[in-house]
């Protein structure tokens, strides 16, 4: 009985010491310079960013084209009247080449509104791009923190498996010597199974978080320099 209590105290001491040594927070793992690199990488590679840039460029091009199209309402043409002939149907006192200019009043007066609308569309495209950049930056941060959290959880689960394996070995030795019951030994085996199951779930969560982050980056985390 005394030896059984000693084994139990040893198990409790091992688990307690490991829990005290474990770091349950991932805040110490946050690397802000590295996070800025991740954000810059996402802004450089993510396809939606390039789509927003193209939209801004197209809106700017249309605005510039509209702003410099004031002369579209003017139409110039020329008439040639030979000096040696007389046009009876359309007589003219001028001889040789003549320039004729026509003005579309409706198009001329509608031009300021068209230019203003093109300018506003250009501003909207710029604002939408800026909004998306902020959203993308926040998303990268969330996925980065989620990845660090998953890694911290995985470390805890891995250490819990080591503790459970150590306890199983001790109880197996005690059970073989008749110093503990099969029920206690079996309960510890079930605990080890559960801890391994939790570890697998933590591994899946870690790889999922990494995949989510890499989707925004467009490259592997290992390739971010």
CA distance 214 to 90: 77
What integer is the mean pLDDT of 35-60? 93
What mean pLDDT do residues 96-106 have?
Answer: 57
Q: Which is more confident, 14 or 35?
A: 35
Other residues' Cβ atoms within 10 Å of the Cβ of residue 36? 12
Indicate whether 157 pLDDT > 90: yes
Report the alpha-carbon distance of residue 40 to residue 131 in Å, rounded. 16
Percent of the chain with pLDDT over 90: 52
Query: Would you state the pLDDT for residue 13?
Result: 44
């Amino acid at each position: 009985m005394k030896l059984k209590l000693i084994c139990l105290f040893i198990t409790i001491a091992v688990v307690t010491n490991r829990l005290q040594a474990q770091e349950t927070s991932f805040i110490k793992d946050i690397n802000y310079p590295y996070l800025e690199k991740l954000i810059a990488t996402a802004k450089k590679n993510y396809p939606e960013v390039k789509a927003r840039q193209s939209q801004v460029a197209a809106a700017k091009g249309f605005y510039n084209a509209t702003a410099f199209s004031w002369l579209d309402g003017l139409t110039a043409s020329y008439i040639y009247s030979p000096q040696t002939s007389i046009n009876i149907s359309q007589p003219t006192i001028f001889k040789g080449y003549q320039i004729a200019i026509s003005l579309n009043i409706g198009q001329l007066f509608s031009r300021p509104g068209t230019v203003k609308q093109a300018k506003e569309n250009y501003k909207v495209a710029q604002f939408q791009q800026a909004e998306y950049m902020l959203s993308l930056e926040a998303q990268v941060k969330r996925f980065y923190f989620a990845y660090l959290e998953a890694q911290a959880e995985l470390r805890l689960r891995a250490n819990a498996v080591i503790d459970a394996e150590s306890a199983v070995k001790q109880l197996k030795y005690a059970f073989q010597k008749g110093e503990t019951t099969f029920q206690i030994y079996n309960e510890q085996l079930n605990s080890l199974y559960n801890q391994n199951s939790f570890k697998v779930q933590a591994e899946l969560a870690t790889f999922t978080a990494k995949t989510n982050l890499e989707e925004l980056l467009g490259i592997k985390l290992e390739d971010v320099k």
